[in-house]
Amino acid sequence: MKIALVSPYDFAYPGGVVNHIESLERYLTRMDHQVKVIAPASKAVTAFGDRFIPIGKPRPIPSSGSILRITLSLRLGSTIKAILEREKFDIVHLHEPFMPMLCSAMLRFSNAVNIGTFHACDGRPGYEFGKPIGTIILKRRQNKLNGKIAVSQPAMKYASKYVPGNYDIIPNGIEIERFSPDVAPIEEFCDGKQNIVFLGRLERRKGLRYLLKAYQQVKQEIPESRLVVVGLGDRPRKQHERWIKQNELQDVVFVGYASEELKPRYYRTADVFCAPNTGHESFGIVLVEAMTMGTPIVASNIEGYASVLTHGEEGLLVPPKNVGELAQALITLLKDKSLRQQMGAKGRVTAEQYGWESIAQKIFDHYVRVLKG
């Protein structure tokens, strides 16, 4: 089967949808399908060879406390039509199918079987762009979607407000063989201090500022502790570092970007993994990654995270933006090694259902059902 996986987001910049498509391409290719990835790119993407087709130059657009890196060009039509005519895909699988401009334009011109995966649970997937004209375009093009997938119940609830119909809920996947508890931790942090690890882009909605304030309380209670911050974001990092200096907070280490190969080692280094996000998360892939590594978790009790983690089982859920409860949950786990071990073991069991081999098969089964229909 010839399959196109289409991303609206800059494929040269790390992110949840980009990682999802990279893994899906890998597993569908292993299943002997001919797969090509189509996306805008700010620089050359070489990992896929001729299986990657760049269309459009992405630009950073602020949205919901994050930055969308998408192409806004209105001149993509001729390129898209030429590619579709040349490739003759059986399936065009669009991730956030109404996000301007690439996915929306692909949907307009594609005469293949069109599948849409809805990842977001807030105002980010293109429904709010360009009202009222955007609303008219949405109504015209949603009928071209032959199949609809949502990565979680919250994502489905949000998308169905704009695009009604039947959805299959198929979650994000994880390459379980890569996230093995047997990997080595980061040596420089194995000095007897207990490590809290944060991993994510340094955006406001990721909640790092609340974790820093909570860590002030943790540090007073548990002096031999450390906060390791992993993620991109030069400007917010400088703002956080100024706050840390003003408050004389010790043992906060910013390590910057971590490659996909290094990420398991940071989870392995963590005594507790913390995800203090304030909202706008339809699914908790970082939680699943931590679970696979057997790392206990403290996370915000937001809908996307609560659909993955059960409070008291794989970790602890706390109200978002609540510094006091966040601090207390971290202290509780850091002081109780047996509880950490118990939650880590439960997390490994929970994470098994998210293996990419199973997820890719479910997505392919969706393709087949839609093709038969």
pLDDT at 132: 46
The pLDDT of residue 208 is 97
Tokens (6 digits) for 140: 């015209």
Confidence of residue 125 (pLDDT cuts 50, 70, 90): low
Q: Is the pLDDT of residue 197 over 90?
A: yes
Provide the pLDDT confidence category of residue 127 given band limits of 50, 70 and 90.
low
User: 130 pLDDT exceeds 50?
Assistant: no
Q: Is the pLDDT of residue 64 over 80?
A: no
280 or 170, which is more confident?
A: 170
Q: Tell me yes or no: is domain 2-173+355-372 CATH 3.40.50.2000.
A: yes
pLDDT beyond 90 at 100: no
pLDDT confidence of residue 219: 98
Q: 160 pLDDT exceeds 70?
A: yes
Specify the range with the lowest mean pLDDT, choosing from 32-41, 171-180, 331-340.
171-180
> Does residue 355 have a pLDDT over 80?
yes
CA dist., res. 92 & res. 239, Å (int): 42
Q: Above pLDDT 70, what percent of the chain? A: 95
Confidence of residue 275 (pLDDT cuts 50, 70, 90): very high
pLDDT for the residue 67: 83
Pick the range with the lowest mean pLDDT from 44-48, 153-157, 177-181, 302-306.
177-181
Percentage with pLDDT > 90 across the chain = 84
Give the pLDDT band (50/70/90) at residue 373.
confident
What pLDDT is recorded for position 139?
75
**Is residue 114 pLDDT above 90, yes or no?**
yes
Residues 178/264, Cβ–Cβ less than 8 Å: yes
Mark 153-185 as b/e (b = at least 16 C-beta within 10 Å).
bbbbebbeebbeeebbebbbbbbbeebeeebee
Q: What is the pLDDT, as a whole number, of residue 128?
A: 55
pLDDT at position 65 is 66
Whole-number pLDDT of residue 133: 45
Q: What is the 3-state secondary structure (H, E, C) of 177-231?
A: CCCCCCCCCCHHHCCCCEEEEEECCCCHHHCHHHHHHHHHHHHHHCCCEEEEEEC
Domain layout of the chain by residue ranges? 2-173+355-372, 187-353
Condensed to tens digits (0 to 9), the pLDDT of residues 2-19 reads: 999 999 999 999 888 999
pLDDT, mean over the chain: 94
Mean pLDDT of 203-217: 96
- Same CATH fold, 187-353 and 2-173+355-372? yes
Across the range 334-354, mean pLDDT stands at 97
How does residue 180 score in pLDDT terms, banded at 50, 70 and 90? confident
What's the CATH number for 187-353? 3.40.50.2000
Greatest pairwise CA separation for the chain in angstroms: 64
pLDDT digits (tens, 9 = 90+) for 221-263: 999 999 999 998 889 999 999 999 999 999 999 999 999 899 9
Mean pLDDT confidence for 56-82: 90
Confidence check: pLDDT of 111 > 50: yes
Per-residue pLDDT band for 288 (boundaries 50, 70, 90) equals very high
